[in-house]
Structure 1
Amino acid sequence: MIDVPPQSPSRPARLRNSSQSHPSSINTVSSIQTALHGSSFSLLLSLPRELRDRIYTAALTAPYLFSWPGKPPAKVRYDVNVSLLRVNRQVHDEAVAILYSQNKLLFTHPSDLNIFRVIASPASQSISSVYFRIREKDLRLWTAYLSSKNPERSLKADLPKLKSLWLFMRCGSMGAPGMLGQLGNGGVAHGGQAVAPLPAALHMQAQQLQMQQQAPGGPFAAHAPQLVAANPQNTQNNNVPPPPPPAPVPFIQFAQGVLGLGGHANPHGQNNNNNNHNHNHNHNHTPQNPYFFTIGPARTPAHLAAAVEPEQPSSHPLYTSFLRFEREMGIEWLCLSLQDTLTSSSSTATAAESRPEVKIVCIMRIPRREVDRLARLYPEELSVDRHGDARTRFWKMRGLEVSLEFSGYPVPGEGNVEGDGRG
């Protein structure tokens, strides 16, 4: 047994050559490394199109409005990386449509949008959301543009893929009593704050009222000294009872009636002369200065309450008054123009679905304290934003959605007495 040679130790297991066992994996890795050093390879383009679109959206969209022409405020940062469009032609063609379709643009004049479409990329036809800021003096220009069907200059031709349209209309400013200022473009109003020029329709209405007060039996003859503050000598007709107000209701009564924006010097006929007291149950007193007001308790005149359309039996007083006031401002005509131009020629259900969503916000500037008081009078109808402006809910008008916004401005000398008079 001792002579038997010992067994040789077992050899260690030989390691397999990875290059021989997995030749395909090595080839894949080497090809990727080679491609990475190549100039034509792109990791972005190697992703699925759905993921690329998400990357384009994150890089090229912003939550703020893009106002053109003009520069954004210093505190606004868009963080839009348009340099992504210069990577290559494929990335540009895929991303440029997202740049225009996913951002919101703001224009303040109808010619701005038309010029922007001319000088911008052809991909600007993909714009789907725009905001228009309409000033009172430009209302006719906007109405002509929005109602136009000209293939070279019209809303439908400039924005064929429009899905959302917001219009912010300025409907004038109203002052507060106890302040002096100019009315319109130069007329000094007694005891009032300077206001913005009213639209042409309101100027014509005011001139008609001034002419009518000179006749013994004209409308508002009993209130001639209040309507014409510059001519207080026209007081001989105070004893003539006023007839029912003419339709449509002018802006003066809109402000001083349903909205509770009318200052009644002698409410409920107190301390009035006997001739006017006999008519208090049928007619509302015109404020001493019809262009300036103080907010009082909400009241609904009989002629406005009867003007509610039958299909809206539950309309809020705010809407009831505005339905008459909007005819003075041309808002109804604007709604009709948009409804006609934005509707497809076909009357099928698909045409109604393709019509863009249109919302009109009518902005009225009044003193800040009056906005706060209106918000307390109508808490169920008015919502106050972070800037302190109050806006009604949207309601349908001629197939479009319309809202009324009260934008407050500070009154000189009332900065530290804001809490007074709120009880």
Structure 2
Amino acid sequence: MTSRTSTPRSRSRSSTGSSGSSDTTMLDADGPPLAPAQPRPASHANPPPSMPASTRDPAFSLLLSLPRELRDRIYTFALISSFPFWWPAPAGPKHNVALGLLRTSRQVYNEAAPILYTGNKFLFTHPSDCNIFRVISSPYSSLITSVYFRVREKDLRLWTTYLGSMSQERSLKSDLPKLKSLWIFLRCGSQMGALQQQMVQMGTQVQQIQQQQQQQQQQQQPTPPANGPANNGSNNINNNGQIPPPPPPPPPLPMAFLAFAQTGLHNYIHPPPPVPHAHGTQNNPPNPSPIAQHMVQQVQHQQHMNTFYASFLRWEREMGIENLCLSLQETRPVDADVKIVCIMRLPKPEVIRLVRLYPDELAVDRNGDARTRFRKLHGVEVSLEISGYEVPT
């Protein structure tokens, strides 16, 4: 009896206890009460379901997905510099070009390398440098269009040979077939120094000749009578018994360009006599009209300018510029713009004096250097630049 009555009670207790324990386990067993539900942040590690990992292309490039016109503009902005590339590279200005872009891919290299060579300027100081650069650089270097050459006087013959050569291995024509702009800067400093030394030697010789002539003239003078003033057996003693000082040395002869400038000034101040008329002497009216006076002034001004230009060309031949121009007649491209600038250095006072003498021929830049206008010489534009330097006091 006892077992029958106790069994249901225990079952009822266990059932109620299990229900209460189950409620406690679901609500309070995990610790503090649950907070309101919040959205779970998106995970960046997993790709979105719209782009599975199996569909991504590892060779995709955002640059190559652009149109070719936009890519060319990007290449131009990244690879073209305002300063020339001097090779072999000395310590010069930084070009700030993105050469690493050429190593991105073969397609980018084939598209960008031609822009690198066609859009930039290159500078060389020796003909071998230009030739070696073409050999060791990219085949796209044959597309170079703009080049600067710096020529020294001692290398003038090498440059003349290189510019006029027809060889396929070493010549301007074969190394730069796409050339469109060529600037040649010829420095005349050392050669002018040699000319100045020759001038000093000539001045010394002239001084010696003048002294010999003075001695011969003194020996040829008649001897004064015996009752005259005593000469002490010497012709160099004057009436006061004092030996006259030696003649002053002649002034140093000017340099080549200064001599040419002084010659032009002399011809301007003392013009040559007019050429006689073919039909005899003509009686001009005593009061010519203003138009006739203006025409006479124009003719005189033109004669002065022609004298200046003729003297300039004569000076250029002495410096070898004419040979440099002749070497380019058969080798330069027909549509190429070739200019030669002959640079020489003079003291700044001399530069100022020349500018004052020839205001119509010499123009001064912001650095104080003077330059003539470009004129044709055997098909090449030639100009003279006079760079001034400070004279130590």
Asked if 1:168 is matched to 2:158, the reply is no
TM-score normalized by structure 2? 0.62
Asked if 1:288 is matched to 2:251, the reply is yes
Question: Structure 1 residues 36, 412: CA separation in 2 closer, same or farther (over 3 Å shift)?
Answer: farther
- CA drift at 1:369: 2.1
Partners of 2:352 and 2:252 in 1: how far apart? 22
- In structure 2, the residue matched to 1:228 is 203
- In structure 2, the residue matched to 1:135 is 152
Higher helix share: 2
2:94 to 71, 77, 87: 77
Q: Deviations over 1:41-77 (max 9, x none)?
A: 222222222221111111001111211113233xx22
Partners of 2:360 and 2:53 in 1: how far apart? 68
- In structure 1, the residue matched to 2:67 is 48
TM-score normalized by structure 1? 0.58
Asked if 1:197 is matched to 2:163, the reply is no
Question: Structure 1 residues 397, 35: CA separation in 2 closer, same or farther (over 3 Å shift)?
Answer: farther
Partners of 2:53 and 2:213 in 1: how far apart? 99
- In structure 2, the residue matched to 1:7 is none
Higher relative contact order (CA 8 A, sep 6+): 2
Secondary structure of 1:383's counterpart equals: strand
- In structure 2, the residue matched to 1:401 is 381
Asked if 1:148 is matched to 2:165, the reply is yes
- In structure 2, the residue matched to 1:104 is 121
Q: Which runs of 4+ in 1 moved over 4 A?
A: 33-37, 291-298, 312-317
Secondary structure of 1:57's counterpart equals: helix
Q: Which runs of 5+ in 1 are unaligned?
A: 1-29, 174-183, 185-194, 211-224, 240-286, 307-311, 344-351, 414-423
Correspondences of 1:237-276 after superposition (within 5 Å): none
- CA drift at 1:317: 4.5
- CA drift at 1:197: 3.0
Give the aligned residue type for 1:63: S
Question: Structure 1 residues 335, 297: CA separation in 2 closer, same or farther (over 3 Å shift)?
Answer: closer
Give the aligned residue type for 1:44: L
Give the aligned residue type for 1:395: R
Secondary structure of 2:207's counterpart equals: coil
Partners of 1:305 and 1:45 in 2: how far apart? 72
Question: Structure 1 residues 96, 305: CA separation in 2 closer, same or farther (over 3 Å shift)?
Answer: farther
Alignment check: 8 A CA contact 1:35 1:41 kept: no
Give the aligned residue type for 1:301: N
Give the aligned residue type for 2:193: A
Partners of 2:303 and 2:353 in 1: how far apart? 26
Q: Deviations over 1:291-313 (max 9, x none)?
A: 456987961438x989xxxxx97
Q: Which runs of 5+ in 2 are unaligned?
A: 1-49, 216-249, 273-301
Alignment check: 8 A CA contact 1:227 1:289 kept: no
- In structure 2, the residue matched to 1:252 is none
Give the aligned residue type for 1:389: D
Question: Structure 1 residues 37, 376: CA separation in 2 closer, same or farther (over 3 Å shift)?
Answer: farther
1:94 to 111, 116, 139: 111
Q: Deviations over 1:110-146 (max 9, x none)?
A: 1111111111111111111110011111100110111
Secondary structure of 1:78's counterpart equals: coil
Rg larger for: 2
- In structure 1, the residue matched to 2:362 is 382
Secondary structure of 2:116's counterpart equals: helix
Partners of 2:53 and 2:70 in 1: how far apart? 25
- CA drift at 1:387: 2.4
Partners of 2:264 and 2:358 in 1: how far apart? 9
What's the C-alpha RMSD, in Å, of the aligned pairs?
A: 3.4
